[in-house]
Amino acid sequence: MKHTLVRRLSSTTALLIALLIIATASAAGSFFDSQANAPQVSGDPSSNMSAVFPTNKQNEPTIAVNPLDSHYLIAGSNDEQRQPPCGPGTVRGSVPANDCSFFPNVGTSGIYTSSDGGTTWTNRGLLDDQASWISSALVSDGDPVIAYGPKPTGTGSFSYANGARAYYATLASYKNNNGSYPPNKAPEYLAVSYSDDNGLTWSAPVLATTKDNPNDFNDKEWITVDDTPSSPYFGRVYVSWTEFRSAGNGSEPIMVTISTNGGASFGGPKQLSPAGNNGTGNGRQGSMVTSGPDGSVYVAFEQGSGHVVSISRDGGQKWTRPINVAAVVDIQDPIPGANFRTNSFLSIAADPRSGNTTLYIAWSQRTADGGRIWVSTSTDRGVTWGAPVQVSTSAEGYAFFQGLDVAPNGRVDLAYQALKTLNPATFGTGNATIDSFYVSKPTGGSCSAPIKISTASSDPSASAQNNLARQFYGDYNVLVSGATNAWFIYTDTRNGVGCPAIDQYQRIIAGTETVRGDMGDRIATRLGQNPYSHEPGNKPAPTEHCSSQFGNSDAFVSVITP
């Protein structure tokens, strides 16, 4: 009967149905995705298959688009392509087969470029492969963020007529621990390099903070450039971060520093928040800085149980006290069904249109139904904020690590990853899948329904910390908007496979102790400590107990046409 009815449809009805299908597809937009770190090891075309853990590991990706020509994009990530494989060898020497630790003096900040709008990418290696970095005293330590702005004119001003300059912010430390401190001190620094040729070559690193203290651990920096020609602070570069002043004492203010000369130097840091727990709440982390079309600068961050924003109207000289945006309940760490660390760090973006006063903040909020992406809006330059609106749904899964930006025409672009699990009470190979999703809000319109923008799912068990104690997806993803496209870059393990021996090891130690993450490994290694000395159980060796594609995590980019 059904087939009979279909055959009897009039030609007019059939045409209406076809038009409806086309209209629905058009409303959803289109997308494609590609691997940014291609090939996985720069200069080695076979490395997508031949690289083994941890050489095959990328995460915490970042991306920026040239504002003058959107064919050109630069991406980066925590990238271990120069790290030696686990176990004994010509680099590590005589070490246990399960030693996958970060090797001293090997950088971890990768560079990838595209000249065709993100269709194809070239892995340019690490910042440390650049001649300017080879001759410097610093080694890159990851947490990359890239931003574009105008080039200096040479007369103290900036102009896009000179072209666009890209800035790469990264954590850094002194090679061979050759700083001015004793061996038991290893402060983490912030460094910035710039490129005037769309990421092909980079300047020598410049320290972005002049505060030099052996007890400081600077972490989770962000960088932005005032890119509005009519702004009184056009071309100014801002870097924000969390300054952990001494381990365990709860002193962790949000800081910001400014460059007015195109990244040649940075001024003294300014403190935007209280340092200790004096009623405002600790847990200050995940800062993000952006600028508005009038030159206002906004540093947003998580403080205690809320998201807040500090504002400067004079180019970063004076800042407001943190203004409440919304209460936040951090998502579960780990997400049930997986074992990688998580957070609810926010994303902030300003509408770039001249005279506009609107800002958006997005984050992943823990709800009774799991992690959901929420967005709060300010229409008065960040002074007050509206009630949060949920934009992700249960259909996508447990949402985390969003990216947010506003296009030149005011279109809001938001993307995120979400996890689905077979059994939330455990974790391991085949138990969970991760995909990426996109939501848009056209000028004057409402948010679209989420659409999936990853062509293949990822299994988080294919990722791992270097100490193998947990899966690892980093701490953030990034989205950048252009006039006609949006680009979302994210950690992806579609090319990796899990390892049952590692799954078992992680389940044994889960809940028995607090295990340091990757940065803890790096600092411990630099101080000559064994990052594995206190872990229980017998750790497997990836080269002996796992498939060659274990640990393979990449930086993938979804290019969306809304």
The pTM of this model reads 0.91
- CB count in 10 Å sphere of residue 509: 16
Average pLDDT over residues 523-551: 69
Give the C-alpha distances (Å, rounded to integers) separating 370 from 75, 334, 335, 406. 30, 12, 9, 27
- CB count in 10 Å sphere of residue 94: 8
pLDDT at 5 over 50: no
pLDDT in tens, 200-227: 999 999 999 866 677 778 899 999 999 9
For strands 109-114 and 122-126, give the pairing: antiparallel
pLDDT in tens, 9-68: 333 333 333 333 333 333 458 999 999 999 999 999 999 999 999 999 999 999 999 999
Q: What is the pLDDT of residue 205?
A: 98
Angle at the Cα of 188 (from 184 to 193), degrees rounded to 5? 145
Q: What is the pLDDT of residue 28?
A: 52
Average pLDDT over residues 343-358: 97
Q: What is the pLDDT of residue 527?
A: 45
Q: What is the pLDDT of residue 389?
A: 97
pLDDT at 81 over 80: yes
Q: What is the pLDDT of residue 474?
A: 97
Token output for 181: 């401190």
pLDDT in tens, 435-484: 999 999 999 889 999 999 999 999 999 999 999 999 999 999 999 999 99
Report whether 109 contacts 139 (CB < 8 A).
no
- CB count in 10 Å sphere of residue 329: 12
Over the range 345-383, which residues count as b (16 or more CB within 10 Å of their CB) and which as e? bbbbbbbbbeebbbbbbbbbbbeeebbbbbbbbbeebbe
The string of DSSP codes covering 496-529 is -B--HHHHHHHHHHTTTSPPP-HHHHHHHHHTT-
Q: According to DSSP H, which parts of 105-184 are helical? A: 131-134
Q: How many CA atoms lie within 13 A of 280 on its CB side?
A: 21
Euclidean distance between CA atoms 220 and 229, whole angstroms: 28
| Cα–Cα nearest to 256, from 293, 212, 300, 305 | 300
Average pLDDT over residues 143-152: 98
Report whether 258 contacts 266 (CB < 8 A).
yes
pLDDT at 523 over 80: no
Strand partners, 237: 225, 259
Strand partners, 324: 308
Q: What is the dihedral of CA 497, 503, 506, 507, to 10 degrees?
A: 150
- Confidence bin at 536 (pLDDT 50/70/90): very low
Please tell me the total number of residues recorded for the chain in this structure. 562
Strand partners, 310: 299
- H or E element: which one contains 13? helix 11-28
Q: What is the pLDDT of residue 512?
A: 46
pLDDT at 519 over 80: no
Average pLDDT over residues 533-559: 86
Mean pLDDT of the chain: 89
Q: What is the pLDDT of residue 212?
A: 64
- CB count in 10 Å sphere of residue 179: 17
Q: What is the pLDDT of residue 249?
A: 60
**3-state class of 360 per DSSP?**
strand
| Range of lowest pLDDT (10-24, 73-87, 105-119, 383-397) | 10-24
Query: Token pair 């229409």 is at which residue?
Result: 379
- Confidence bin at 176 (pLDDT 50/70/90): confident
pLDDT in tens, 247-301: 556 688 999 999 999 999 999 999 999 887 655 566 789 999 999 999 999 999 9
Q: What is the pLDDT of residue 520?
A: 54
Q: What is the pLDDT of residue 280?
A: 57
Q: Which residues, other chains included, contact 93 with Cβ-Cβ below 8 Å and sequence gap of 6+? A: none
Q: What is the pLDDT of residue 537?
A: 55
